[in-house]
Amino acid sequence: MTVRLLPCGRRAVLVELDDVLGFQAALTQSPPDGVVELVPAARTLLVRFDPSVTNAERLGALLRQVSPVDRVVADAGEVVIPVVYDGEDLADVAAETGLSVPALVARHTAGTYVSAFCGFAPGFAYLTGSDPALHVPRRSSPRTRIPAGSVAIAGEYSAVYPSASPGGWRLLGRTDVPVWDVERDPPNLLPPGTRVRFTAVPS
């Protein structure tokens, strides 16, 4: 496994690698002294540390010895999201992938997804685990407004829009499940590590 380490100020190291969740799981199981926070992204893991306990050089030496482990997701639990599959892009995605609409829905609901990281907007979880047949690019022209609860795909990811916002993902359907709710503790329903399943429901 190739790991690249980049300093981020006096209090963090950015780790560039392929298996972010496996690396994060290893650090969660055996955290090096001084590590205070792990922030995953698509191909990086930001490791924040307490400079009174360690420094970037010492921590970097330890990070180079870490081996990813099987992704640990049990603590975050599983969330089942009911979806009405009537999205504006459903027919186009089916045609692009060579699938019928029912077959496309069946493949999307058959996946076991994991929230890899959150970004773009509060509560916007990038869900890995999509069937490779459903890996389609974003729209060439983003929409100016996508409703909250829209279930969408782009590239290797699936997602649920937590709030109304612009976006270029392909819309497959919608859900009434609020994935981000400031009145809830915690507000994010899909923090990194959460397992997610989609299930089709009638409109």
- pLDDT band at residue 74 using 50, 70 and 90 as cut-offs: very low
pLDDT of res. 28: 85
- pLDDT band at residue 68 using 50, 70 and 90 as cut-offs: confident
CA-based nearest residue to 132, from 109, 110, 156, 151: 156
Q: Are residues 57 and 132 in the same domain?
A: no
Q: Are residues 32 and 87 in the same domain?
A: no
CA-based nearest residue to 143, from 81, 89, 203, 100: 89
**Lowest-pLDDT choice from 130-139, 168-177, 185-194:** 185-194
CA-based nearest residue to 138, from 150, 120, 156: 156
Share of the chain above pLDDT 90, in %: 69
Write out the two tokens for 5.
């380490």
pLDDT of res. 63: 92
Q: Which of 22-36, 37-51, 131-145 is modeled with the greatest confidence?
A: 131-145
Q: Are residues 113 and 143 in the same domain?
A: yes
Residue 174 CA to residue 66 CA, distance in Å, equals 40
Q: What is the CATH number of the domain that holds 102?
A: 2.40.100.10
Q: Are residues 98 and 194 in the same domain?
A: yes
Q: Are residues 176 and 195 in the same domain?
A: yes
**Lowest-pLDDT choice from 18-32, 76-90, 95-109, 167-181:** 18-32
Q: Are residues 123 and 155 in the same domain?
A: yes
Q: Are residues 13 and 42 in the same domain?
A: yes
Q: What is the CATH number of the domain that holds 23?
A: 3.30.1360.40
For the chain, the domain total comes to 2
Q: Where are the alpha helices (DSSP H) in the chain?
A: 20-29, 56-63, 90-97, 101-110
Range of the domain at 53: 4-63
Q: What is the pTM of this model?
A: 0.78
Q: Are residues 99 and 175 in the same domain?
A: yes
Question: Cα-flanking dihedrals φ and ψ of residue 133, to 5°?
Answer: -65, -20
Q: Are residues 152 and 58 in the same domain?
A: no
Q: Are residues 55 and 80 in the same domain?
A: no
- pLDDT band at residue 173 using 50, 70 and 90 as cut-offs: very high
